């Protein structure tokens, strides 16, 4: 369920390899009665060293890993602790982890089962299938399942999904109708990860099949595939025996692991509320590697399953995208499919390499380090199993291309964000910064990391790091760069105009605050000093003083509201928005009213106040700074917009 600034909330609630030498069977000894000796399997030792190092380096409580290889039994391993206090170790076969958005792979598989039955068409308006919810009309273009599966329906993001408690009596259909996000882009135009869109697909499965989604999931997927440890029950409602198998979720604070509250998402659980074991995830990966069949049980024909590996859109074939629900990305010459998952205190990553018959799943019971450890495990095992040499140092293989790269420079903001309510401020900071790098490439900063990207000659908008990650820039019909698609496949980042940048808001705050302070200092200096006073001057002076006090009070309130949001635990999102944030929204109207009065007072100040020119100029600049601040507050939906 995917930063700097407030985007941690989204991240918290949030959106993921064959040793060729091991695949070679030695020549059998010339003794027909004796089987061939298997090649030495060094992967377990390699994985042990890698995982132990990551546990220490990333300060993780526990890890579970499953690896599927074509010539070896499944490798199921647990590291660290499922219960730190009691010293209970992680068991790769038995310990449950919440798998977050990996749950969505079950939704998309359910969709394809109904496609095979002829009950769904991926290119049909989803409103034809929905009985209790209707997607609002926009852009004269309907939303289809292809759009939902590719995260290209154009929905804004919303916190509402993460504010539903597990004991909320509302059905999924009721929640979807109540929390429907705005459509902010035409379908197909942008990739923007949408939990609401995935949950809508689960509702389509229920409406078309005539069974609620949970029953469909268990009857047609989990039970036939014997995924007996894959559950949809939230932690607080698990039977004692099942709850005892669930790894506790931990935060890392004050140098130690502290158990945290589990995230609750209620009826939205199909999009990210499931839990499973590494053993069950190994079976799930094998099902998808085998083209829709596991242990003689076939849920999808090979032809229908092959569609899941295909992309619904063809506008970035050589870069990361989404293939009917699975993140699809090229990785150092290998095409991979996968999905990441985050549910509060848990992270999970599933990665398939169908051409190699290799798959890796890894999960952890802490948000510490984000996906860094899991990506390291999945990518390195993939590369090792494929016999790929370690990546060269950044920039060492830079391609010399004689062209201007300045058109790509600037800040970009993730399109997975709110556009029309107060939570738009959570996306204040740009998520990607692009600058020129020495050596004919780009220096791209995102997620607190800076990487060197070299251009790929065959595509002027495609860039790649030395470890194989790619980004692709997107142009509008006039050929201007408007967005960049990152290496995850599920996120696009919109180019930020100067007036939309975080610097613009900060400049407005700084300028208005400075003029407010100097206005109060001027009022103090003039207090009881003899001077010419007019009615217009008295009114404007008192207005400026009152406005200065209001501005400073607003800034103090804003700081307190920031603290109240920043200290809100992931498990307490149901308490959002805090009272201070509601008050801040109302206070914005006060500043807007004062800005209007200041603007109306400009003419009398210059014509009737008999102030010195310096004071009139100061009043004018204060007025303009306040007006600019109010515009910025409105652009960031800090007032005159819904709280959610």
* Cα dihedral 237, 240, 62, 328 sign: negative
What is the pLDDT at residue 1? 46
Q: What is the mean pLDDT of each run of 10 residues along the chain (644 residues)?
A: 40 33 30 43 94 96 96 92 97 97 98 98 98 96 98 93 91 96 96 97 98 97 98 95 97 92 94 97 97 97 96 92 95 92 96 96 95 95 87 56 85 94 88 90 91 88 90 96 96 94 95 97 88 88 96 95 75 70 92 97 95 96 98 93 82
Q: How far apart are CA 533 and CA 612, in angstroms?
A: 12
Q: How far apart are CA 634 and CA 595, in angstroms?
A: 13
What is the pLDDT at residue 391? 67
Q: Is the pTM of this model over 0.85?
A: yes
Per-domain boundaries in the chain: 5-386, 406-496, 500-635
DSSP secondary structure letter of residue 567: T
Cβ contacts of residue 579 below 8 Å, gap of 6+?
none
CA angle, residues 10, 11, 16, in degrees to nearest 5: 130
Stretch (H or E) spanning 172: helix 172-178
The CATH class of the 5-386 domain is: alpha beta
What is the pLDDT at residue 401? 60
What is the pLDDT at residue 579? 85
What is the pLDDT at residue 641? 86
State the DSSP string of 301-367: -HHHHHHHTS-S--S-TTS-EEETTEEEEEETTEEEEEEEEEETTEEEEEEEETTTTEEEEEEESS-
Is there a cis peptide before residue 577, judged by omega within 30 degrees of 0? yes
Exposure of 484 in the CB half-sphere (CA atoms within 13 A): 27
């Amino acid at each position: 369920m995917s930063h700097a600034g407030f985007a941690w909330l989204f991240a918290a609630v949030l959106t993921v390899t064959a040793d060729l030498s091991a695949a070679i069977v030695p020549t059998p000894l010339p003794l027909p009665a004796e089987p061939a000796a298997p090649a030495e399997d060094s992967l377990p030792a390699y994985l042990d060293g890698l995982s132990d190092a990551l546990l220490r380096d990333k300060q993780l409580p526990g890890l579970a890993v499953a690896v599927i290889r074509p010539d070896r039994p499944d490798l199921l391993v647990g590291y660290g602790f499922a219960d730190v206090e009691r010293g209970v170790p992680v068991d790769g076969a038995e310990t449950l982890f919440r798998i977050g958005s990996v749950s969505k792979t079950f939704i998309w598989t359910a969709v394809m089962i109904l496609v095979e039955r002829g009950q769904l068409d991926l290119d049909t308006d989803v409103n034809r299938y929905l009985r209790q919810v209707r997607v609002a009309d926009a852009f004269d273009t309907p939303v289809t399942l292809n759009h939902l599966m590719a995260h290209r329906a154009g929905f804004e993001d919303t916190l509402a999904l993460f504010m539903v408690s597990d004991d909320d009596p509302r059905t999924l259909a009721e929640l979807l109708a109540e929390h429907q996000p705005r459509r902010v882009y035409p379908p197909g135009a942008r990739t923007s990860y949408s939990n609401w869109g995935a949950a809508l697909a689960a509702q389509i499965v229920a409406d078309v099949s005539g069974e609620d989604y949970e029953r469909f999931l268990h009857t047609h997927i989990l039970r036939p595939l014997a995924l007996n440890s894959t559950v949809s029950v939230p932690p607080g409602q698990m039977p004692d025996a099942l709850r005892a198998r669930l790894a506790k979720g931990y935060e890392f604070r004050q140098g130690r692991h502290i158990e945290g509250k589990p995230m609750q998402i209620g009826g939205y659980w199909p999009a990210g509320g499931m839990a499973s074991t590494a053993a069950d995830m190994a079976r799930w990966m094998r099902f998808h590697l085998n083209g829709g069949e596991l242990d003689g049980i076939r849920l999808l024909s090979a032809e229908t399953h092959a569609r899941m590996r295909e992309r619904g859109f063809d506008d970035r074939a050589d870069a990361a995208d989404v293939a009917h629900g699975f993140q699809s990305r090229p990785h150092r010459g290998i095409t991979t499919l996968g999905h990441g998952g985050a549910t509060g205190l848990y992270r999970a990553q599933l990665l398939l390499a169908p051409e190699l018959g290799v798959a890796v799943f890894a999960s952890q019971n802490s948000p510490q380090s984000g996906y860094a450890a899991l990506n390291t495990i999945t990518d390195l095992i993939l590369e090792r199993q494929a016999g790929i040499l370690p990546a060269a140092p950044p920039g060492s293989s830079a391609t010399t291309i004689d062209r201007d790269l300045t058109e790509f420079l600037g800040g970009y903001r993730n399109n997975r964000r709110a556009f029309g309510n107060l939570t738009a401020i959570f996306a204040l900071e740009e998520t990607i910064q692009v600058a020129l790098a020495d050596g004919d490439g780009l220096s791209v900063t995102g997620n607190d990391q800076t990487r060197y990207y070299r251009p790929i000659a065959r595509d002027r908008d495609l860039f790649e790091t030395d470890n194989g990650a790619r980004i692709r820039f997107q142009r509008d019909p006039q050929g201007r760069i408007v967005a960049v698609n990152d290496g995850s496949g599920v996120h696009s980042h919109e180019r930020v105009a100067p007036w939309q940048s975080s610097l613009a808001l900060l400049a407005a705050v700084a300028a208005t605050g400075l003029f407010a302070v100097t206005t109060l200092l001027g009022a103090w200096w003039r207090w009881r000093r003899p001077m010419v006073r007019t009615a217009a001057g008295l009114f404007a002076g008192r207005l400026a003083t009152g406005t200065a006090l209001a501005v400073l009070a607003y800034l103090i309130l804003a700081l307190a509201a920031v603290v109240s949001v920043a200290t809100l635990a992931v498990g307490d999102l149901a308490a959002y928005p805090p009272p201070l944030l509601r008050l801040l929204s109302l206070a914005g109207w006060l500043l807007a009213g004062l800005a209007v009065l200041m603007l109306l007072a400009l003419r009398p100040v210059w014509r009737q106040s008999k102030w010195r020119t310096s004071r009139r100029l100061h009043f004018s600049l204060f007025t303009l700074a306040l007006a600019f601040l109010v515009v910025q507050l409105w652009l960031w939906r800090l007032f005159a917009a819904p709280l959610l």
